[in-house]
Structure 1
């Protein structure tokens, strides 16, 4: 495997994916540069304290991005998407394309783009995934070594409000006997760092990343054990799906096999032997947020994106 003393530029380093990648890169000895909007924020300060070089700028600040990329070896690119409520679909696509184009212009040796697990080379009919399809297509046409990772749904999202844990139940996309691949956010960087470290193996590749696969029935058992009381699993009710076009489309993608996930877990375990299962997440990093979710009533705005 190769290793470079040149830095990796990480976008989204104050968020989930970029934060996971920055942490893994630092642990492996890579210099890391992060493009941040607010260098004085608590999250930016934590990055600086960990050894990350900060460059102030936004996704539209080409001068700041060029400054960050100058002399860098690689770039990890991830963008906010429309469901965040902060950007439009077109803004996401523009940012993804612009970062890729600047990586070429700045002589970056290896670009890693984080897409989405349900993305394919043809449209899914959901803008949340089809924006990423457009960015992927642009990257593949560029004269740069690039790797595209497609993360599965995050294990961490299971404890978001609105799925029913506070009512002793859990509602999600799969049928009770249907399996779905999930990914611990902590593992994202543990897959991405080896990609940068072995460009010959991973350059030009597109692959899904996940860290576990569970059925609805298995989630019921895991959540019940973690809660110390019964948590009943059920797929979203038909009336809920009728009221939410967003949920209905995602559930349809689950049945089509796209949202269910097709990652090669055996190969991924070779890349990251310590990848985290749902059980391990519930016993570790997820323990506190899970217990909070059991007590926190709330709703999630499903009709986003």
Structure 2
């Protein structure tokens, strides 16, 4: 049997790169991996090409640059990037851009006869909690449902890599980290570099996953719990900066964050969290937060510099 041709959009990003790596793990006799990237000459594109990925240089604003690559594909990973177009002040514009690019990819895939589409989705927080980068993906889910085309949805939660970007300061022998949520807020998350494990399940058996959802949250941990795990693994004292819910809700604190992130965290704090049981049952090797720290030693160590 010929290998399945899978076209991965955003191949050089965290999610796309993860999808490619997990598919390559299965072997070239199982999957023929193609990747769409803005540049064939980037270091990541060259690395993936060397590993066996066929890289297609294309512009997501121009479907004619990538449509030919979809011919003969068995499945496609769709994940346009809101954050690439968001400058902190233009959420509606960035969302509209993302929606159009995703629709263009989906339409091109259908024109080329791709039988199944796999979309990287984000939770629907509902009308009470408008979050542009989530609502844009909800729009695409509704678009897929209206089209009636076979598809599966892979829901990526909060990225643990965000922790590495939070402001921190040294106070004596300890590090004080400014998590943007209250110390006791338990946030569903995962290692984004494991998203490919869930996508691979769909690519292996798309019929079984048609019309279904995969939630990738593999652990639910608060800043206090994250700090404890970081401290234990790294051997240093790391603590959150003592944010309460009242402090989070204050205009003074929220003014320090991009508005899009304020909306996102307010929504996460206000609705029921997805349970990690599905993610862990589908991929038993999925990391708990502490595992992620222990298995990304270079990143973790850089956290304290």
Is the structural similarity TM-score above 0.5?
yes
Aligned to 1:241: 254
- Could you list the structure 1 runs, at least 4 aligned residues long, displaced by more than 6 angstroms after superposition: none
Q: Which runs of 5+ in 2 are unaligned?
A: 88-92
Aligned to 1:211: 218
Aligned to 1:196: 203
TM-score, length of structure 1 as denominator length: 0.86
The equivalences for 1:66-105 within 5 A come to: 66-82=67-83, 85=86, 88-105=94-111
Bigger mean CA offset, 231-240 vs 132-141: 231-240
Match of 1:149 among 154, 160, 175: 154
Tell me the distance in 2 between the aligned counterparts of 1:248 and 1:41: 33
TM-score, length of structure 2 as denominator length: 0.86
**2:162 partner SS:** helix
TM-superposed CA distance for 1:145, in Å, is 0.8
Say if 2:187 and 2:220, in contact at 8 Å, map to a contact too: yes
Say if 2:79 and 2:102, in contact at 8 Å, map to a contact too: yes
Bigger mean CA offset, 134-143 vs 73-82: 134-143
TM-superposed CA distance for 1:211, in Å, is 1.9
Tell me the distance in 1 between the aligned counterparts of 2:77 and 2:52: 17
Q: Which runs of 5+ in 1 are unaligned?
A: 296-305
The equivalences for 1:150-299 within 5 A come to: 150-160=155-165, 162-164=166-168, 168-233=175-240, 234-235=242-243, 237=247, 238=250, 239-244=252-257, 245-257=259-271, 261-262=273-274, 264-285=275-296, 287-295=297-305
Taking a change above 3 Å as real, the CA distance of residues 84 and 279 of structure 1, as seen in their structure-2 partners, is: farther
Say if 1:4 and 1:73, in contact at 8 Å, map to a contact too: no
The equivalences for 1:23-172 within 5 A come to: 23-29=21-27, 30-82=31-83, 85=86, 88-116=94-122, 118-120=123-125, 122=127, 124-160=129-165, 162-164=166-168, 168-172=175-179
TM-superposed CA distance for 1:63, in Å, is 2.0
Taking a change above 3 Å as real, the CA distance of residues 84 and 218 of structure 1, as seen in their structure-2 partners, is: farther
TM-superposed CA distance for 1:254, in Å, is 2.5
Tell me the distance in 1 between the aligned counterparts of 2:120 and 2:170: 32
Tell me the distance in 2 between the aligned counterparts of 1:272 and 1:109: 25
Tell me the distance in 1 between the aligned counterparts of 2:170 and 2:300: 10
Say if 1:149 and 1:208, in contact at 8 Å, map to a contact too: yes
Aligned to 1:6: 4
TM-superposed CA distance for 1:205, in Å, is 1.2
Say if 1:120 and 1:133, in contact at 8 Å, map to a contact too: no
Tell me the distance in 2 between the aligned counterparts of 1:64 and 1:140: 26
Count of aligned pairs between the two proteins = 287
Tell me the distance in 2 between the aligned counterparts of 1:193 and 1:181: 22
Deviations 1:240-292 (A, max 9, x none): 2244444432332132126xx31x4222222211001111111112x212221
Tell me the distance in 1 between the aligned counterparts of 2:99 and 2:56: 22
TM-superposed CA distance for 1:227, in Å, is 3.5
TM-superposed CA distance for 1:21, in Å, is 0.3
